[in-house]
Structure 1
Amino acid sequence: MRFSANLGFLWTDLALPGAIRAAAAAGFDAVECHWPYDHATEAVAAALSETGLVMLGLNTLRGKPGENGLSSIPGREAEARAEIDRAIAYARAIGCGAVHVMAGVAEGTQAERTFLANLAYACDRAPDLTVLIEPLNRYDAPGYFLSTSDQALHLIEQAGSPNLKLMFDCYHLQIMEGNLTRRLGRLMPVIGHVQIASVPDRGAPDHGEVDYRHICAVLRDLGWSKPLGAEYKPIGPTGESLDWLSGLRAI
C-alpha cells in the first residue's frame, strides 16, 4: 500500500515546500494539502520536482471564519466560483490532480441546488482534474452541508459529471456511519481519494476503533492502487508519529 502525507496536519511547523521535502525524506509516496495559497506556486512546484512527489489534492478556501466553504450557500455563487477558479489555477500550476470543493454550512433543497450548480461549474471548468466532495462528521463540522456517504452518492448521481468523485475519509465516515468495509465496496466506483486517521481522536492510524490493517487489505482486494491520504493530527513532532507507516505499507 502507498501513502500520501496530508500537509495540512503533518509537518505544520514547516512552510509547504519544506514540508514536501520532509514527507519525501520520511518515505511518503505523495503529498496533499488543505490551503496552499499563501505559498508561491513556483516554490511548491520546485519542491515537488526536486522530490519526485505528486500533490494529489487541495481544497477550495473556506470563506469567512466558521463558514467551512461557500459552494452550497445560496447567494454566494460568485464568491464560490472565484474560489473554485483559484483552486483550479493553483492545482494546474503545480501539477495537482484534484480539487476538493468545500460545501460550507447550509441545509435544505436550495442549498443542494446551489451546491450542484457550483459543482457543475467546477467540473466543466476543469475536465482535466478530479473534483472531490467530502462528507464531514457533525461533531467536528456542525452544520456542514454534506455529512454522509449516501448524500454524497446522491449528489454525484444527480450531477452526472464523470470527474466528480467522493473523498472517502475513513475518520469522518466511521464517526457518522461505520460499516467501512461494506461502504468501500459499494462506493468504490465513485471514490476518488481515501483518507485515514484513528477514531475517535484523529491521531496516527495505529490505534482506536478502526483496524487499518483490515481497511488496507480490503482496499487492496478491491483493486485500489492510489496512495491513501494520511490526514491525522500527530501528538508531538510528525517524525515521531510514523511507526505505523512501514507496517501498513507492507499490506
Structure 2
Amino acid sequence: MYLAACIEWLFAAEHQSFPDRIHAAKAAGLKAVEFHLWRDKPLDDVRRALDETGVRLTSMVVEPRRSLVDPAQHDEFLAAVRDSLQAAKEAGAQALVVASGFTRPEVSRQEQHAIAVGVLKRAAALAEQAGIPLVLEPLNTRVEHPGMFLDSTAEGLDMVEEVGSPNLRLLYDMYHSTVMGEDPAQVLAGRFHLVGHVQVADVPGRHQPGSGTVDWARYIGILRELGYTGAVGLEYKPQGPTLETLATARAALSL
C-alpha cells in the first residue's frame, strides 16, 4: 500500500496552484495524488507536474455530476463520462469516481437500484473502450450527504457485481463507511476483489487519521489481510499545516 494525497485539501493552505501541490506532495515523499472535479483544473500543467515528479494521479471525479437513479439525467451522465475519460487520458488519471446522485422518494429503492445498474453498464462499456476504470463511491447520508441514494458499501458492491465489468469497481471510503456504522471486516468479507480504490479520514470531523476515534491499526490490518496493495487516498481536511497532519496520519496508518 502507498499513500495518495487528496490535493483538493492537502497542501491547499500552503500552495494555491495544483502543480505546486503536486511538487509539495513529491517533496513530502508521497507517490500519488488525487483531486475532485477536473474542469476547473489546469490539466496541461497538472500533467506536466506529474511527469516532472513521477507522481501518479490516482483519481478524479466524473464531471458534471449527474444522477444514476434518474433516467432523465442519463444522457448527460454518459456525456460526462465520455468527456471525463478523455480528460483522464490527458491528465494521466488512473481512475474516475462516480456517485449515485440523490434518492427519488417517489420511486422504490429496488427500481432505483436497477436503473443505476443499467446506466452503469453503459458507462462501464465506455470505460472499457478507454482503458480507464470507473470507481463507484457510496457516500454517507448522516453528515455530509443527506438524501444520497447510495450510502451502503454492501449495496455498492452489489451494483458492481451486477454490472460485471472489470472497468467498474467500488471506491471504499473508510470515512463514509464508518460514519454509516459499517465494519470493514464485515462489509468487505469475500468481496474485496470488487474494490478498486480506498480512501481514509478519521471520525468525527473528517480530519487526518490519528485525530479521531478510528482504530487505524485494525482498519489497515484488515486491508493487509485482504491483500490490498493499491493507493490509500488521504481524503481528509487538515487540522493545521499539511506536513504536520501528514506526520500524524502516517503514524496512525503505519504507511
Q: Same fold (TM over 0.5)?
A: yes
Displaced runs of 4 or more, over 4 A: 248-251
The equivalent residue for 1:57 is 59
* Paired letter, 2:137: E
2:185 to 181, 184, 189: 181
In 2, distance between residues paired with 1:113 and 1:75? 15
Q: TM-score, normalising length from structure 1?
A: 0.90
2:70 to 70, 73, 98: 73
143-152 or 13-22: bigger deviation: 13-22
In 2, distance between residues paired with 1:16 and 1:72? 33
149-158 or 236-245: bigger deviation: 236-245
239-248 or 114-123: bigger deviation: 239-248
**Is 1:86 aligned to 2:90, yes or no?**
no
Deviation, 1:129, is 1.5
Where 1:236 maps in the other structure, the secondary structure is coil
Correspondence list, 1:1-251, <5 A: 1-13=1-13, 14-63=16-65, 69-107=66-104, 108-127=109-128, 128-139=131-142, 140-248=144-252, 250=254
Where 2:191 maps in the other structure, the secondary structure is helix
* Paired letter, 2:24: A
In 1, distance between residues paired with 2:252 and 2:52? 26
Which runs of 5 or more structure 2 residues have no equivalent in the other structure? none
Aligned residues between the structures = 246
Deviation, 1:105, is 0.8
- Equivalent residues of 1:2, 1:249 under 8 A apart: no
Deviation, 1:250, is 4.4
Deviation, 1:104, is 0.9
In 1, distance between residues paired with 2:188 and 2:17? 34
Deviation, 1:227, is 1.8
Identity across the alignment (%): 32
- Equivalent residues of 2:217, 2:253 under 8 A apart: no
In 2, distance between residues paired with 1:241 and 1:174? 20
- Equivalent residues of 1:62, 1:70 under 8 A apart: no
In 2, distance between residues paired with 1:17 and 1:114? 39
127-136 or 211-220: bigger deviation: 211-220
Which runs of 5 or more structure 1 residues have no equivalent in the other structure? 64-68
